[in-house]
């Protein structure tokens, strides 16, 4: 941007802050579309369905951008299903994931006509069978198998190891498919895996997928033919110095795996499609240089971006209008009364109170993991489309926060 000043698609972030206030999430429609199209194009020739994993960011404007590009959705709760329906998404192009689906959620998804339930346990399969039979229907099902592969990522976002709460133990899957075949409320349509998040190597995918395909073949030998193989999500991005797997390399692996096979590919990318399309815009409230550490107290906090507190995650940080001068080493912290309330540690920056800072790669798992902790109204969300900033979620007010509450009646 002009004179080193930061912007999104030609729109200065300072203008967005002046108009909409801070903290504020800013998304780029262009960046969202580019990410989706790059992934989709790399898979040309492989019959596939991209199901955007909406827990990464479920703002309706984002869902709408992806739905218009032909994306389906990976839905993780009844609330997420309602969001997908709210933008007119076709439920048949969506899958329903999650270890703890309630009977009400199963019914809701069945009524909506969901494309596939990714079932994560024998108990869930029994429940789904009963729910489907009660309305004289058959629920389309994949079993999410746990291939017991280490994705070599943060333990909190590893999901495909034997000890994980996710998926069906690999060695139990064949027996459960046999059981599913005998259930009148169940229609077997696929198989599913999702080994973790922020994965930056191909090898764990290939290893897990090979196990899954071996299971497919064993099923086929018993007359259980699958329509699709769902390889899950988890493709990582560059926050600091990671090297993400380029889409063409992922696609080459997929091509090799699917060569000569009848099953269609389903994938569930979340972070990779949205993380880099968003920044969290925040303003420095106070500078508080100290005897040991120097604190820049900003108006965004752990309730707006919990990843640093939760995973010790590193996000890029950049002043919106860089100043000349000698940098000092700052910790960026929020106003919340917790020592875990930090957004970044040890950043060499030239800062003054009132400066705007852009926290990068905040399109994924930022707003969607936000909270109202400390009675902090949630920040607004803005999407830039062809140089114009649109508010896609207004800033919450304090009254919004207690609108659902009431004191006991006075007696």
Ligand X SMILES: *Cc1c(COP(=O)(O)O)cnc(C)c1O
Q: Which residues of 139-164 are buried (b: 16+ CB within 10 A; e: fewer)?
A: bbbbbbbbbbbebebeeebbbbbeeb
Smallest gap from residue 270 Cβ to ligand X (A) = 3
Residue nearest to ligand X (CB): 270
User: Considering beta carbons, is residue 313 or 349 the nearer one to ligand X?
Assistant: 313
What is d(CA 297, CA 319) in angstroms, rounded to the nearest whole number? 14
Minimum Å distance from CB 56 to ligand X? 5
Contact between 54 and 363 under an 8 Å Cβ cutoff? The reply is no
Nearer to ligand X, 80 or 341 (CB): 80
DSSP letter at 387? T
What single DSSP character describes residue 6? Answer: -
**d(C-alpha 169, C-alpha 118), whole Å:** 14
Peptide bond into 101 cis (omega under 30): no
Residues at the interface with ligand X (CB under 6 A): 53, 55-56, 74, 97, 194, 197, 232-235, 268-272
Give yes or no: 337 in active site. yes
Residue 323 CA to residue 175 CA, distance in Å, equals: 64
Q: Shortest approach of ligand X to residue 159 CB, angstroms?
A: 7
10 Å CB burial of residue 282 (0-12, 13-18, 19+) is buried
Residues 52, 199: Cα–Cα separation, whole Å: 16
**Whole-angstrom Cα Rg for the chain:** 23
Query: Scanning the structure block, which residue is given the tokens 């499609």?
Result: 273
From 24, 116, 337, 380, active-site residue: 337
- Distance, in Å, from the CA atom of 37 to the CA atom of 31, rounded to the nearest integer, reads 10
Tokens encoding 355: 């400066």
Q: Min. distance of Cβ 233 from ligand X in angstroms?
A: 3
User: Does residue 235 sit in helix, strand or coil?
Assistant: strand
Tell the smallest beta-carbon distance from residue 365 to ligand X (Å).
7
Give me the least distance between CB of 20 and ligand X, in Å please: 27
Q: Which residues does the annotation mark as catalytic?
A: 337
């Amino acid at each position: 941007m002009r004179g080193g000043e930061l912007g999104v698609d030609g729109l200065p972030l300072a203008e967005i802050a002046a108009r909409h206030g801070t903290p504020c999430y800013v998304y780029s429609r262009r960046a969202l579309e580019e990410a989706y199209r790059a992934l989709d194009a790399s898979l040309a020739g492989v019959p596939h369905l991209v199901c955007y994993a909406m827990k990464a960011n479920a703002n309706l404007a984002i869902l709408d951008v992806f739905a218009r590009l032909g994306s389906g959705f990976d839905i993780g709760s009844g609330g997420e299903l309602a969001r997908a329906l709210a933008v007119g998404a076709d439920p048949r192009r969506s899958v329903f994931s999650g270890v703890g689906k309630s009977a009400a959620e199963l019914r809701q998804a069945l009524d909506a006509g969901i494309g596939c339930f990714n079932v994560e346990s024998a108990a869930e399969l029994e429940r789904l069978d009963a729910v489907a039979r009660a309305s004289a229907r058959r629920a389309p099902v994949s079993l999410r198998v746990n291939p017991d592969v280490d994705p070599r990522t943060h333990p909190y976002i590893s999901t495909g190891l034997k000890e994980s709460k996710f998926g069906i133990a690999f060695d139990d899957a064949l027996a459960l498919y046999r059981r599913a075949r005998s259930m009148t409320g169940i229609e077997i349509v696929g198989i599913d895996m999702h080994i973790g998040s922020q994965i930056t190597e191909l090898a764990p995918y290939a290893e897990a997928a090979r196990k899954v395909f071996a299971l497919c073949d064993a099923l086929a030998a018993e007359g259980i033919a699958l329509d699709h193989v769902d390889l899950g999500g988890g493709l990582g991005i560059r926050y600091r110095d990671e090297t993400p797997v380029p889409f063409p390399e992922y696609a080459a692996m997929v091509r090799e795996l699917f060569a000569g096979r009848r099953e269609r590919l389903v994938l569930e990318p979340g972070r990779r499609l949205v993380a880099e399309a968003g920044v969290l815009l925040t303003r420095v409230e106070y500078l508080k240089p100290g005897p040991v550490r120097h604190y820049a107290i900003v108006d965004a906090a752990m309730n707006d971006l919990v990843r640093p507190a939760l995973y010790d995650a590193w996000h890029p940080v950049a002043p919106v209008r860089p100043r000349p001068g000698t940098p000092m080493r700052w910790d960026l912290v929020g106003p919340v009364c917790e020592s875990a309330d930090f957004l970044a540690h040890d950043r060499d920056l030239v800062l003054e109170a009132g400066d705007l800072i852009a926290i990068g790669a905040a399109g994924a798992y930022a707003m969607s993991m936000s909270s109202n902790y400390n009675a902090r109204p949630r920040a607004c969300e803005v999407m830039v489309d062809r140089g114009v900033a649109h508010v896609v979620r207004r800033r919450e007010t304090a009254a919004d926060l207690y609108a659902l509450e009431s004191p006991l009646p006075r007696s």
